[in-house]
Structure 1
């Protein structure tokens, strides 16, 4: 694992390398070896940031990169107080910077920064998809957008020093892997979906045709290690057990590769999965899960990522714990880096 105190570079999903030379009072950033911005820092109760020198890159891009660096460098930092003669219009309109009453002062809030969808989110129109209520299987819910294909999320985890990414499942590429994971006795004890390749082809085919469920493969440094199902809770079997909102999302989780187990890996992929779902549609206010009530290890991991247990309840096949995390709580307390 990387130590953030030793951080000197970050990778962007575009592949670009953001490098820094930081002292107590100054921060110089470069992008792909080209100078990006030089800032004066005043450390106190709130970190104050002042533009000292800009270069050829657009100022909005430079300010975003500086905010990213400072928040990733110190996950405890909650806000940055910027002193700027003129703030880029797009930075204010997007929520990257919030104008204060004092002229020339702007604040960047961690809770707002991590809700900006780019550059983490793959191409998605979900957040702007219009609402139309429909009925399916006796349930009234919003018409869901066409499901994405390919990579949907990518972010460099500064703590692990590795990429965490999510892509949609590809039957040709992933069926044998899914089959191997589901037939692992550890996985089978919780999922109870062991079976043949053809059984799993049928299982995944049904989910692919189901507009309320998205099947995802999680990767560290582009090496697949996990399978996730993200579903719209309003149309799911969980809906009768709590007051499901129209845009709540739910998750099922499976780590298939033994070398990617452990609390530090869970902290990375679980926060990334929840982050993706909140970014995918700004109308989503909660992410829910229903692990088996006796799966104390997973429930503990979820508590560490801001989830709380609302209650226990009985599905036909298991006693489950209803785990919830709200958008506000996640972004206020998230340790994304």
Structure 2
């Protein structure tokens, strides 16, 4: 980080986290309120005058400022005389004594303000039978409204996800599906009546959650998120009870390109791993000849497990594991 660098990061709450780092000391403010002062000593940050009851807010902000400012930063080492036990229990802090640290891979697994709904982590498990004969957990009720929001410091824009509203989004969905580029892969061209029926069927399907992706609150993409155990993909790999699958389309031409894909694909994957910590894999099955999308996914840590045949297409099985995502992601 450059000498005397100043970084401003907006938070989903509407507040602004401001950090100033001169290479020797660091100061963090939340809006106009001083949040943390620290000096560097022997490769560690030593917070100054930080009361135990203030540690949770200050150290979360410290971690976010570091990890969002530098996607390659893996750990923040700290020296604290006293530690709030709840921080060790949460995973925000690990270690003991003078070896305290905040790990990037653990930090991004904490929902923080990014997950905008309660998620299904606390929904109890009850196994039920699918009409196909596969047993799977009963799924929590679907969320409504905004489910994820994060400022992408690399892109300099908000990336957010919200649930699809049929009345508000139908014309947009119809326009996107009737574009030649999207139709070549989705093959769902049609009129408003067809697309309303299509979306209404998905709204009644507990297996599928329909989402709209936004940059700076401008809708640009449509996603179908599904529970893989109940999906047609299940017979083609060793599916887990909480694996999620994704179908994706970018409808607005001005939001195409690898830098935008890196932002929204990492956000979508991040949301699914935050939404239920029991989810260990996110999968996708793009057409095997869709080399561009497969390349974009591989750049974000997905790997191509194999190719297989659906009745309507030759597909590539793309897999992202929780372990790889959080150890190798470049969330910023």
Q: Root-mean-square deviation (CA), in Å?
A: 1.7
The equivalent position to 1:99 in structure 2, one of 87, 91, 95, is: 95
SS of 1:268's equivalent in the other structure is helix
Report the CA distance between 1:41 and its aligned residue.
Answer: 2.7
Q: In the alignment, which residue of structure 1 is the partner of 2:113?
A: 119
Shift of residue 55 of structure 1?
A: 8.0
Tell me the residue number matched to 2:14: 15
C-alpha distance in 1 between matches for 2:53 and 2:178: 51
Of the candidates 116, 122, 129, which is equivalent to residue 128 of structure 1?
122
Query: How far off is 1:200 after superposition?
Result: 0.4
Structure 1 match to 2:70:
74
Instruction: Check conservation: 2:5, 2:20, Cα contact below 8 A.
Output: no
Asked whether 1:292 is paired with 2:291, we answer no
What secondary structure sits across from 1:128 in the alignment?
A: coil
Contact 2:225-2:247 within 8 A present in 1 as well:
yes
How far residue 246 of structure 1 moved from its aligned partner, in angstroms, is: 0.3
TM-score by length of 1: 0.95
Query: Which deviates more from structure 2 when the two are superposed, residues 242-251 or residues 86-95?
Result: 86-95
Native 8 Å contact 2:114 2:150 kept in 1: yes
Summarize the Cα distance change of 1:18–1:57 in structure 2 as closer, same or farther, 3 Å threshold: farther
Q: CA deviation at 1:208?
A: 0.5
Distance 1:127 1:237 in 2: 24
Measured in 1, the distance between the counterparts of 2:301 and 2:29 equals 34
For 1:88 and 1:186, locate their aligned partners in 2 and report how far apart those are by CA, in whole Å. Answer: 54
| d(CA) in 1 for partners of 2:207, 2:6 | 40
Q: Say which SS state the counterpart of residue 252 (structure 1) adopts.
A: strand
What's the CA shift for 1:155? 0.4
Q: Please, what TM-score do these two structures have when normalized by structure 2?
A: 0.96
- d(CA) in 2 for partners of 1:6, 1:192: 50
1:65 paired residue among 54, 61, 64: 61
Q: What is the distance in 2 between the residues matched to 1:194 and 1:42?
A: 62
Q: Determine helix, strand or coil for the equivalent of 1:204.
A: helix
Deviation at 1:59, TM superposition (A): 2.1
**What displacement does 1:42 show?**
4.7
Name the CA distance, whole Å, in 2 between partners of 1:256 and 1:57.
47
Give ranges in structure 1 of 5+ residues lacking alignment.
none
Structure 1 residues 6 and 195: alpha-carbon distance in aligned structure 2, compared to 1, 3 A threshold? farther
Structure 1, residues 126-182: CA drift from partner, whole Å, max 9, x if none? 011100000021221000000000000000000011100000000111000000000
Structure 2 gaps of 5+ residues are: none
Contact 2:223 2:246 in 1 (8 A): yes
Q: Is the 8 A contact 1:7 1:73 kept in 2?
A: no
Deviations 1:6-52 (A, max 9, x none): 76100111010001111111110100111111111358xxx521102
User: 1:1-337 counterparts in 2 under 5 A?
Assistant: 8-42=7-41, 48-54=44-50, 58-100=54-96, 103-137=97-131, 138-337=133-332
Q: CA deviation at 1:71?
A: 1.0
Q: Tell me if the contact between 2:80 and 2:98 (Cα under 8 Å) persists in the aligned partners.
A: yes
- Aligned equivalents of 2:130, 2:87: Cα separation in 1: 41
Work out whether residues 12 and 113 of structure 2, in 8 Å CA contact, stay in contact via their aligned partners in 1: yes
Aligned pair count reads 329
User: The residue matched to 2:305 in structure 1 has which SS?
Assistant: strand
Q: Pick which of 18-27 and 266-275 moved more.
A: 18-27
State the alpha-carbon separation in 1 of the partners of residues 32 and 168 from structure 2.
37
Q: Is the 8 A contact 2:7 2:69 kept in 1?
A: no
Counterpart Cα distance in 1 of 2:53 and 2:210: 38
Decide whether the 8 Å contact of 2:5 with 2:21 is kept in 1.
no
